[in-house]
Structure 1
């Protein structure tokens, strides 16, 4: 079985209503695309973002993937799990110094070969020539950007629009008014912008500060695809920086999970939903508005904050 054949059958994510008092009070309806439910390990948007990368790797005859991430990386976790399940090699280039986080221990258990780049070495990942020594060391592996990014990663997310549209009748919806999702690299957001082609706006709640390059990455993907830079908006929801977690966020996640049963984590989905709460309370969305909230997964990363197994 080739790398591409492993991922040929895209999993179907359920679309579920989100029942919360603050939505009812504002007259706003939200349905959650539960990408966290598609697979216990290759979870969230990762299966979709990896799909086209694996197709490209297969066309080049690669025997595996080399990619980047941090010590809590959902992307590397899903990639390593996929490598173990579908028998292809995986190598991870990690930010900083060795950390024995639950995610890192999983990566090794799944068979991923790890290299720790330090912080300066990791910052160089966007520099020309970064990949040259790694491709020399691993000539039979295909390099994939951080988070499964780039145009290939975005194209893998295009089918999410049809997954939503096919389930609207079950909700009693004929249409929706826009998307809301967390943005770490902006790849999934760019894929939805490509899929929508201006039909519905896509709102990205940034998990990193605005100056971390996400606007430029989204613009680069859309430009490479030959699309105009429109149909989306980015909002800084980082609360002071990536992985910054405060008591208000923790309390919001705890209350939301208790009330709705929707599991969240503090880096992406929790911040994105809290940002939506703030926008709804501020009157950003009129009564009758219907939004699709994308649950991008990442629940395995909660272990680094909560001690959960």
Structure 2
């Protein structure tokens, strides 16, 4: 498997929106690194792929839903770099645009139902799958755990190298959506206390994001609820905000992560959390392929 020395550079771009009210925001555009292997997913995979290579594995087995950005990026990487991929999916068989892509990209799929998928945190969950696919390296949901976080640390250096293009000498904090908390933890590790990281929770508390992050880092971050009632919960105000923002900025968003995170930032600015002149880096974590699930 490999070599995996591909390290795409995400552009850092200023965001101009009326509601920023003097708060300066630059967007690290992970959505623009590649048409298929998009967003933060590749960065979360890099250390897992290195571990797989060291273990002599011939491929990766991982988990996700029927619109999973993680599985989509994994399948695309497997196709491009020539390693086997197997996906364990939540729920029952359905032909979503993402699932059709996974199949076209050569990923072998297994549907676990909902109860079977909920068992993914059980200590013995991976045993039968590792017996069935002994040459594949198991990767947690979303490319999580410490390996996933370590792969995201390079994003801090990528942003810092581009500050001069904005006329910034420094910045005050990071803001991003948190689905598993892995990317957030990676930023916290790389910052080593230099700048705080704010995570807008795209999922409810019971999804275990806080526990995931605490298992990797202690301090240097804050989690805020942006879930709007649950994972994949989308309401009309959110959709209207996304439509208005896309028209004003030309930057595409999706409603599960980036849309929720940016709306939460707007609400915090309007509440006076950030004063004019504060400089924030907003991470666009990609996931635009998932917009197809909301085409209507």
* TM > 0.5: yes
**2:87 pairs with 79, 84, 92, which one?**
92
In the alignment, the residues of structure 2 paired with residue 212 and residue 93 of structure 1 have an alpha-carbon distance, to the nearest angstrom, of 18
232, 242, 245: which one aligns with 1:243: 232
Partner residue in 1 for 2:149? 154
Counterpart-to-counterpart distance in 1, 2:237 and 2:102 = 31
Query: Which residue number in structure 2 is paired with residue 76 of structure 1?
Result: 71
For 1:16, the equivalent position in structure 2 comes to: 13
Shift of 1:74: 0.1
Shift of 1:47: 1.0
Which residue matches 1:252?
241
Deviation sequence 1:159-206 (CA, Å, 0-9, x none): 100000000011000000000000100000000000001110000001
Give secondary structure in 1 for the equivalent of 2:38.
coil
Pairing partner for 1:120 from 115, 127, 131: 115
Equivalent position of 2:24 in the other structure? 29
Matched, 1:272 2:272: no
CA shift, 1:210, in A, is 1.7
Q: State the match for 1:261 in structure 2.
A: 250
Secondary structure of 1:155 counterpart: helix
Structure 1 stretches of 4+ with a deviation exceeding 6 A read none
For 1:9 and 1:245, locate their aligned partners in 2 and report how far apart those are by CA, in whole Å: 35
Partner residue of 1:234 out of 223, 235, 247: 223
| TM superposition shift of 1:221 | 1.9
Which residue number in structure 1 is paired with residue 36 of structure 2?
A: 41
1:75-120 deviations in whole A, cap 9, x for unaligned? 0000001111111000000001011100000000000000000111
Selected match of 2:169 from 171, 174, 180:
174
TM superposition shift of 1:60:
0.5
Cα distance between partner residues in 2 of 1:42 and 1:164: 19
Secondary structure of 1:251's counterpart equals helix
> Of 204, 218, 225, which residue of structure 1 is paired with 2:199?
204
Offset at 1:211? 2.2
Quote the residue 1:287 is aligned against: 276
The runs of 5 or more residues in structure 1 that have no matched partner are 223-228
User: For structure 2, which runs of at least 5 residues remain unmatched after alignment?
Assistant: none
TM-score of the two chains, using structure 1 as the length reference? 0.95
Distance across 2 between alignment mates of 1:8 and 1:156: 12
Residue 9 of structure 1, CA deviation: 2.6
Q: 2:291 aligns with which of 289, 297, 302?
A: 302
Q: Deviations over 1:106-141 (max 9, x none)?
A: 000000000000111000000011000000000000
Q: Secondary structure at the match of 1:179?
A: strand
